[in-house]
Chain A
Amino acid sequence: MTAYFIQAFIYLCAAVIAVPLAKRLGLGSVLGYLVAGVIIGPVTGLVGQETATIQHFAEFGVVMMLFVVGMELEPQMLWNMKARLLGLGGAQVAITTALIAWAAITMGQVWSIALAIGLIFALSSTAIVLQTFQEKQLSRTEGGRSAFSILLFQDIAVIPMLALIPLLALPELVNTGAAHSSGHHDELSLVANLSGWTHAVVVIAAIVGVIAGGHYLAHPLFRYVVKSGLREVFTATALMLVIGIAALMSLVGLSPALGAFLAGVVLANSEFRHELESTIEPFKGLLLGLFFITVGAGISFSLLLEHAGTILALTLCVMHLKAAVLYGLALIFRIRGTDRWLLTLSLAQAGEFGFVLLGYSTQNHVLPTELAQILSMVVAISMFLTPGLFILFDRIIVPRFTQKNNQQQKEDDIDQQGPVIISGIGRFGQIVNRMLTANGYQTVILDHNLSQVETVRQFEIKSFFGDSTRPDLLHTAGIESARLLVVTIDDKEKAISLVRHVKKAYPHVQILARAFDRGHNYELKRAGADWIVSETYHSALEMGGEALKSMGLHPFRVEQMKAAMLEKEQRHEAEMYEAWKKIDEDIKFSHQYTRLFIELEKALSEAINYDRYDRHTRSEHGWVPPPKGYARQIEKEFRDDPC
């Protein structure tokens, strides 16, 4: 037990020190984790043999990441991507495999080994690339989307690759290896002893099961859990879901990451999406970080020094070749400008699936162990260099293009305006939302009341379950890129703390808030809300106007009265607020709450009386006819001095 604590402490400590440092230096968190791994692994030797075991565990971070990625991708969007997915992804995998295999053959490898190497290096690192895209907010660019479709295709392509690799087994390796691995038992599998077509049936049934389960079972399950009101049970359910899918996929021999992705896509439309995302997010982040550390720690300095020249040369060859293929594809698919370079540089590395395939290939006697070790160094080093390529993209390519196409860049920015987040979808929030969506603005709606979310979902208003006062949920809802936050939640105190938090953490977000009464209004104002409306004020004003009309007042005059009333209120708004602040502070000190209201009432009635005597209101001013004798006066003046 002690040993585990010490190890866990070393890993966490390395991450805590290295990652913020790397981020501050503008190198990105991935490089920070990698360096942390190198330091605790090969440099200081604090951790060692267990990295391989931990790596298997940490790969689960990739599964979670694809689950989260899937949730951000609705089925419709995935369908719209199909051309890019098959065309771009298919071409990248096929061409890269072929070129690398050809290169290996010219270096004197047999064709079967060459093909295996080609397949291994055709894959890129989903973990590094998607994590970096998210961090640098590149996911929504053309280049980011293209890279994503290639990565997705690669994840799918791993499945036939795993089927193909055993067929490439070398007879001489099988013979020598048979003695070694006779005792090695197969992994738990449902499909190991099935014939081809039953295997296919089981696989399809599993996929259909995941989709149908996500569609029909997830909702009642989460509903049941949410009604219990225990947050940790929700977390447990989310983990259970992802782990369960991963287990099922592994059992039928599919990629767990792909299964999780599918489940994510199915749940993309669910009202629990944001809550799920924010629950999974920290696990995903930690496990991915752990994964990157193990990649760094797994670099063997002795092997590296021994074959330094070969490994470095191979790494550079592979990366150049992959980059060249990507650049060519970007040309063919008409991806322009910075996007072309983003695609080229982001996917030039080999990926974590490379490790998996390498291990699998040696197990199946396709690759000799020594070659596999060198190749796994190549994979690790290429992953290690990737953050460097992103820095190159950020520091050199982007500035050059922004100088060149300044105008084009600006147009793109307008196109990608941030969404509006509406917190609280009661009767009030619904009207605000309807106004926004009817005019084509995208909204993200959050409400902590599940039955409310379910009710408005029946009216095709897309809303999500979750407590918007929790910072992580706001984060998954996209508060960083939001332009506007509308606060219409029922809980007075929570509304104030939400406004205060958002104004402090994201000062660029404009906040519109609904207040219950004057005191709440001022408290929201003090918390930093940009615009506040008291919930009953305008409807009361309307009814007051209607009452005047019923008493026989002309409708147009009633409008003037309403305007005058509003104006009066607004004119004294600032001084009332100052008075409130002062009184509020005094009272906090003396605990005499009732005095606050008495003092406020006094201030307000004084203000209104002032108006009454001053008579400077719109209703007194408007459309007053000239005095009775005015025409004669003008006439006289004209006669005296005709003009």
Chain B
Amino acid sequence: MKNILILFAHPSPHRSEVNLPLFQACEDTPGITCVDLYAEYPTFNIDISREQQRLVNHDVVVFMFPLYWYSTPSLLKEWQDLVLEHDFAYGSKGKALQDKLFFCALTAGGAEKGYQHEGYNHFTIRELLSPMEQMANITRMRYLPPYALFGARTAVEEQRLDQHISGFIQLLDDFKAGEIDHISTADFITLNEFVRSQEADI
């Protein structure tokens, strides 16, 4: 039984169509720790030791956010800058995060085909998230591809939201049961693809 921590970062949740319902669905699922960072730290005054303790208490760490300029919203970057200290998260004595699983659950405005070498974004989503991947590497965590929703601005209109949410809850159940790890997911650009391949297997 693995413990899951979701760190949710959305600066204007009252305008959110995908992230907020997804986060609320996680909150309704028992056994998952859900943290709304912008609600806890509206003045950016992050409690470092509390956040470090949270990390220590969990086995799977999820960043949940809308992609802002190919990166996280600013509070989540601030969270990284403050919480992932030397001798805690990295450095010869910094082994607190060793072997934890890490991935991002994100939404992007552009369509998936835009996130290709030939598309207008020129990079795949995995490439764009490489700072996050390297952060996981240096903190000795196991990096998994992101669970992503593309074309998020029209997901509600196109009735893609329910499936996205239920897929995510199913995924979290599998994480909890310890059925997913970095090895089984290594070859996929997104966790969504991994889920689809599993369904295809069945």
Contact with B43, one of A559, A629, A631, A635 (Cβ below 8 angstroms): A559
Please provide the chain A residues from 598 to 643 with a CB less than 8 Å away from any CB of chain B in the complex. Answer: 622-632, 634-635, 638, 642
Interface of B is mostly: loop
**Smallest Cβ-Cβ distance to B17: which chain A residue:** A625
Tell yes or no: A558 within 8 A of B by CB.
yes
CB distance from B133 to the nearest CB of A (A): 25
B153 in contact with A555 (CB, 8 Å): no
Chain B residues lying within 8 Å of A634, measured Cβ to Cβ, are 110, 114, 120
Residues of A within 8 Å of B114, CB to CB, are 631, 634-635, 638
Give the Cβ gap from A643 to chain B, nearest Cβ, in Å: 8
Cβ of A4 < 8 Å from any Cβ of B? Answer: no
Tell me how far the C-beta of A620 lies from the nearest C-beta in chain B, rounded to whole angstroms: 11
- Most A CB contacts (10 A, CB to CB) among B14, B110, B114, B120 go to B120
Q: Is the pair A623, B39 in contact by a Cβ cutoff of 8 Å?
A: no
**A588 interface residue, CB < 8 Å from B?**
no
Is the C-beta of B15 less than 8 angstroms from some C-beta in chain A?
A: yes
Chain A residues whose CB sits within 8 angstroms of the CB of B38 once the complex forms: 554-556
- Residues 1-57 of B contacting A (Cβ, < 8 Å): 11-15, 38-40, 42-43
**Size of B's binding interface in residues, CB under 8 A:** 22
Do A554 and B111 touch across chains, with their CB atoms under 8 A apart?
no
Cβ contact within 8 Å between A630 and B120: no
Whether B109 is near chain A, meaning CB under 8 Å from some CB there, is yes
Neighbouring A residues of B14 by C-beta, 8 Å: 554, 557
Enumerate A527-570 residues with CB–CB distance to B below 8 Å. Answer: 554-559
Instruction: Report yes or no: A626 in contact with B42, Cβ–Cβ below 8 A.
Output: no
Contact (Cβ within 8 A) A557 B12? yes
A170 to chain B, nearest CB (A): 83
| Pairwise interchain contact A556-B11, C-beta atoms closer than 8 A | yes
Q: Which residue of B lies closest to A558 (CB)?
A: B42
| B111 with A631: CB separation less than 8 A | yes
- Name A557's closest neighbour in chain B (CB-CB): B14
B110, A631: Cβ atoms closer than 8 Å: yes
* B167 contacts chain A at the CB level, 8 A cutoff: no
Residues of A with C-beta under 8 A to B94: none
- Determine whether the beta carbon of A628 is less than 8 Å from that of B11: no
Beta-carbon nearest neighbor of A553 in chain B: B14
Q: Are the C-beta atoms of A625 and B153 separated by less than 8 Å?
A: yes
Flag B58-70 by CB within 8 Å of A: 1 or 0 each.
0000000010000
**C-alpha spacing A116/B153, complex, angstroms:** 102
Cβ of B40: which chain A residues have Cβ within 8 Å of it?
555
How many Å lie between the Cα of A559 and that of B12 in the bound state?
12
Q: Give the residue name and chain of the A residue nearest to B151 (CB).
A: A631
Task: Evaluate contact between A622 and B12: CB separation under 8 angstroms.
Answer: yes
Q: Does B157 touch A at the CB level, under 8 Å?
A: yes
Query: B137 on the interface (CB 8 Å rule)?
Result: no
Q: Is B185 an interface residue (CB 8 A)?
A: no
Contacts of B110 in A (CB 8 A): 631, 634-635
B71 CB–A CB distance under 8 Å: no
A554 to B9, CA, bound (A): 12
CB contacts (< 8 Å) of A630 on chain B: these are 109, 153
Least CB distance from B58 to A in Å reads 23
Contacts of A635 in B (CB 8 A): 110-111, 114, 120
B124 at the interface (CB under 8 A from A): no
Q: Which of A555, A622, A638 contacts B39 (CB 8 A)?
A: A555
B120 pairs with A623, CB closer than 8 A: no
Is A626 touching B153 in the complex (CB atoms < 8 A)? Answer: yes
Contact digits for B151-168, partner A, Cβ 8 Å, 1 yes 0 no = 101100100000000000
B16 to chain A, nearest CB (A): 8
On chain B, the residues within 8 Å of A554 by CB distance are 13-14, 38-39
Name the residue among A556, A558, A628 with the largest chain B CB count within 10 angstroms.
Answer: A556
B118 to chain A, nearest CB (A): 9
- Chain B residues whose CB sits within 8 angstroms of the CB of A622 once the complex forms: 11-12
Which positions 107-140 of chain B face chain A at CB distance < 8 Å?
Answer: 109-111, 114, 119-120
Q: Give Cα A635 to B73, complex, Å.
A: 24
**Which A residue sits closest to B154, measured CB to CB?**
A628
Chain A: CB-nearest residue to B11: A623
Q: Min CB distance, A623 to chain B, in Å?
A: 4
- Chain B contacts for A558, CB-based, 8 A: 42
- Take A554-B38, A559-B42, A634-B120 as given contacts and tell me if A628 and B157 are in contact as well, using a CB distance cutoff of 8 Å: yes
When chains A and B are docked, how far (Å) is the Cα of A625 from the Cα of B73?
A: 13
CA distance A635 to B39 in the complex (A): 35
Looking at the assembled complex, report how far the CB atom of B152 sits from the nearest CB atom of chain A, in whole angstroms: 9
The residue among A554, A624, A630, A642 with the most chain B CB atoms within 10 A of its own CB is A554
Complex CA gap A289/B119 in Å reads 91
Of residues 138 to 196 in A, which have CB atoms within 8 Å of B's CB atoms? none
A563 to B40 Cα, complex, angstroms: 18
- Report the separation of the CA atoms of residues A638 and B110 in the bound assembly, to the nearest whole angstrom: 12
Q: Contact at A628–B153, with CB atoms within 8 Å?
A: yes
| Residue contact B42 to A555, C-beta cutoff 8 Å | yes
Chain B: which residue is nearest A559 at the CB level? B42
What are the residues of chain A within 8 A of B66 when measuring CB–CB?
625
B39 touches A625 (CB 8 A): no
Cα distance A411–B119 in the bound complex, in angstroms? 60
Q: What residue of chain B has the Cβ atom nearest to residue A639's Cβ?
A: B120
| Bound-complex Cα distance A602 to B97 (A) | 60
Question: B residues engaging A (CB < 8 A)?
Answer: 11-15, 38-40, 42-43, 66, 73, 109-111, 114, 119-120, 151, 153-154, 157
Q: Besides A556-B38, A622-B12, A630-B109, 8 other CB < 8 A contacts? A: A554-B39, A555-B40, A559-B42, A623-B12, A625-B15, A626-B153, A628-B154, A642-B120
Q: List 9 A-B contacts (CB under 8 A).
A: A554-B39, A556-B13, A557-B13, A557-B14, A623-B11, A625-B153, A635-B110, A635-B111, A638-B119
Nearest 7 Cβ contacts at the A-B interface: A638-B120, A556-B38, A623-B12, A555-B42, A556-B42, A559-B42, A623-B11
